[in-house]
Structure 1
Amino acid sequence: MEREIITKFLNQTASPEETRQVLAWLEKPGSRKVFDAHIKNTWDKSSISEEDKTDYDKLLQKIHLRTSIATGPTQSKSVSWYKTFKVAASIVLLIGSIIFIKKGIEFNEPHLALPEKVIERKTGIGEKLTMKLPDGTSIVLNANSRIIFSTGYGDKNRLVELEGEGYFEIAKDSIRPFQVKTKGMVTTALGTAFNTIARDGFYAVALTEGKVAIEAGEEKLKLNPGQMMILDKRDSLSGVEVRPFEIDKVIGWKEGILHFERVQLKKILEDLSKWYGVELEIEAGINVHKRVIGTFRNKNLSDVLTGLGFSMGFQFEIDKNRVLIKKSSL
């Protein structure tokens, strides 16, 4: 008897003709031994592991008892065999189901980590952006700035990359320090608040709360509240400088406060162009190297230029997003 037909008979998928063949074959001497061996061999191939304590020999004996040949006429034997082997098939299918379930439970599917993606937030000229990271850290981006972090932020580390200027209020986490990476330095903090600038080779960190550690090339230092680190790579003769600062003068931009402390007019006009989103055209003959001291609170561009023009001796014209700076006619 072909093993394939026996298996189909046990699974109750055999055709009527195949069923009659199996029942007829089981009447022959020695068929029962072959039949039992086939069932046991199937179980052996389906074994789970060395830890599987199922007594398959005892189960086979139970099936053997349930399928013992009944006494009586041949026709009764055939009917009895058919009924009892339906029971045997059910038992085999049940055992197979248990084996399948156990395999499903014991199979440890490898964890497929999703690839991390890069998230970018940026501001254009004249824009500001306030955002909150998953850990509760708050960031305010100044105009013309960009911040980058991954979708895995907060899992193993809290790292962001900054171009431009941003103010950070860090959520406390003693296990995962917060880091801001720029092209010129790395600032590390646990729970603190600070302002960072990274523009065109100029880098600065001003600490308002807590403590931060800074790595700028070979330089390593720590800041206390009220201290500011400055590194100007545009000047090859300058190095890392640490000095005190006034909060309004450094991070006033967050609240719409513009403060200039002996800053060249050229630099001020460049910043105004970025902050207010305008294009500036400066006529020849204006001394853009003069230094300015002044503070403007929540002023629009026209008010700021009026104040600067009065002290610096220039006039201006605003045409939508274009501003002309010209010599005063007085």
Structure 2
Amino acid sequence: MKKEVLSRFLNGTASQDEKNLVLSWLEQENAREIFDRHLKEIWKDSSPSDADRTDYESLLQRIHKKVQPGSGRGKVKPMISLTTFFRIAASLILVVGSAYFLKQGLEHQHPVPVVNEKTITKVTQEGEKLTLDLPDGTQITLNANSSLSFSSHFGQEERVVHLSGEAFFIIAKDSLRPFQVITNEMVTTALGTEFNAYARSDQYTLALTEGRVAIDAASQSVELTSGQMATVDARLHPNDLKVNPFDFDRIVGWKEGQLVVDRKPLRVLLEDLRSWYGVEMKIDPQLNLNRRVIGTFRNKNLSDVLTGLGFSMGFDFEINGKVVFIKKESL
């Protein structure tokens, strides 16, 4: 290590690269011994020379007189030799200064760049699903036609996401930072659980598949346990929060490509299919869309699903690219 670099490190004039270089070097074997030897050389260089003609005797007496008024009637005898006195003073200054700059160097940290907070938004289109892995280890599967937004500082102090649409959450455990899912009408707080959240067309549900969560909705607060689902219909019953059991396959089946329909109106089911498969629906106004559907479709393409539905609901269909024409079955 060059002496001039060590000297700049000790007197505080070293660049940041030189400070880092010295700190790294000090960790090497025998580096401290060389460092100490260099300190001694600096000490020697800073000692008064023989050519120094300063009257240290008179100077010291004047100092004593200032410190001890009335003691000036006679010569004040120094308690230690003058040369030793100034050597000690010089060495103390050197040691204190070296300790200070060494401490500054050891405690120095690279300045953390300030990153402005921004909102990150993930969006799925119709017919698309997306799996996200958040920095805290949480995994989220976003259903079609949905959006999820969160801060670029997510996980540093809090874990909060905003959902529109539908998503399945596997929350990483963290007892110090609760995880919150916020929709227009419902706030879900969890520490480490799994659940399905739904927020579409004024319908808000939270179906808990594992663990426990706290729900705040419709001016109420409830705690769910595994197998329970909280529901709010913001259009028909905005102040009513219902908690009921749920069927896993019917609520979460979408995640595995499974569509379970339990007495769902045909109108709603066709809307789901439009979103799932990313198509446009042209529906015959004469078709009774209020009829309810019961059935299960596992990993079926759109044509197979519509074939089964058309047989039971009495309609024909035609798929032309991304447009589906549905018309009442002719007699």
Report the TM-score, using the length of structure 1 for normalisation: 0.69
Task: Note if contact 2:172-2:192 (Cα within 8 Å) is conserved in structure 1.
Answer: yes
Matches within 5 A, 1:27-46: none
1:173 matches 2:174: yes
Higher Cα Rg: structure 1 or 2? Answer: 1
* Secondary structure of residue in 2 paired with 1:124: coil
Query: Which residue in the other structure is 1:80 paired with?
Result: none
Where in structure 1 are there 5+ consecutive unaligned residues?
A: 1-57, 70-90
Query: Which residue in the other structure is 2:33 paired with?
Result: none
Query: Which residue in the other structure is 2:151 paired with?
Result: 150
Query: Which residue in the other structure is 1:116 paired with?
Result: 117
Question: Distance between the aligned counterparts of 1:304 and 1:282, measured in 2?
Answer: 16
Query: Which residue in the other structure is 2:244 paired with?
Result: 243
* Secondary structure of residue in 2 paired with 1:286: coil
Matches within 5 A, 1:1-330: 62-63=47-48, 65-68=50-53, 102=101, 105=104, 113-236=114-237, 239-330=240-331
**Offset of 1:228 from its aligned partner?**
0.5
Question: Distance between the aligned counterparts of 2:295 and 2:51, measured in 1?
Answer: 102
- With over 3 angstroms needed to count, the CA separation of the structure-2 counterparts of 1:109 and 1:143, relative to structure 1, is closer
Question: Distance between the aligned counterparts of 2:140 and 2:124, measured in 1?
Answer: 12
CA RMSD, Structure 1 to Structure 2 (Å): 2.9
Question: Distance between the aligned counterparts of 1:178 and 1:219, measured in 2?
Answer: 19
Question: Distance between the aligned counterparts of 1:238 and 1:219, measured in 2?
Answer: 9
Question: Distance between the aligned counterparts of 2:112 and 2:216, measured in 1?
Answer: 36
- With over 3 angstroms needed to count, the CA separation of the structure-2 counterparts of 1:102 and 1:236, relative to structure 1, is same
- With over 3 angstroms needed to count, the CA separation of the structure-2 counterparts of 1:276 and 1:325, relative to structure 1, is same
- With over 3 angstroms needed to count, the CA separation of the structure-2 counterparts of 1:109 and 1:280, relative to structure 1, is closer
Question: Distance between the aligned counterparts of 2:46 and 2:250, measured in 1?
Answer: 91
* Secondary structure of residue in 2 paired with 1:139: strand
Structure 1 stretches of at least 4 aligned residues deviating more than 3 Å after TM superposition: 58-69, 101-104, 106-113
* Secondary structure of residue in 2 paired with 1:240: strand
Q: Which amino acid aligns with 2:212?
A: K
Percent identity over paired residues:
51
Question: Distance between the aligned counterparts of 1:307 and 1:270, measured in 2?
Answer: 16
Report the TM-score, using the length of structure 2 for normalisation: 0.69
**Offset of 1:260 from its aligned partner?**
1.2
Question: Distance between the aligned counterparts of 1:238 and 1:108, measured in 2?
Answer: 53
After superposition, give the CA deviation of every residue in 1:3-59 in whole Å (9 maximum; x if it has no partner): xxxxxxxxxxxxxxxxxxxxxxxxxxxxxxxxxxxxxxxxxxxxxxxxxxxxxxx99
After superposition, give the CA deviation of every residue in 1:122-145 in whole Å (9 maximum; x if it has no partner): 100110011111111110000000
After superposition, give the CA deviation of every residue in 1:73-121 in whole Å (9 maximum; x if it has no partner): xxxxxxxxxxxxxxxxxx9xxx8xx79x839938999866422222111
**Offset of 1:64 from its aligned partner?**
5.8
Question: Distance between the aligned counterparts of 1:65 and 1:288, measured in 2?
Answer: 110
**Offset of 1:62 from its aligned partner?**
3.6
| Worse-matched range after superposition: 228-237 or 211-220 | 228-237
- With over 3 angstroms needed to count, the CA separation of the structure-2 counterparts of 1:227 and 1:61, relative to structure 1, is closer
| Worse-matched range after superposition: 232-241 or 60-69 | 60-69
Where in structure 2 are there 5+ consecutive unaligned residues?
A: 1-42, 55-89
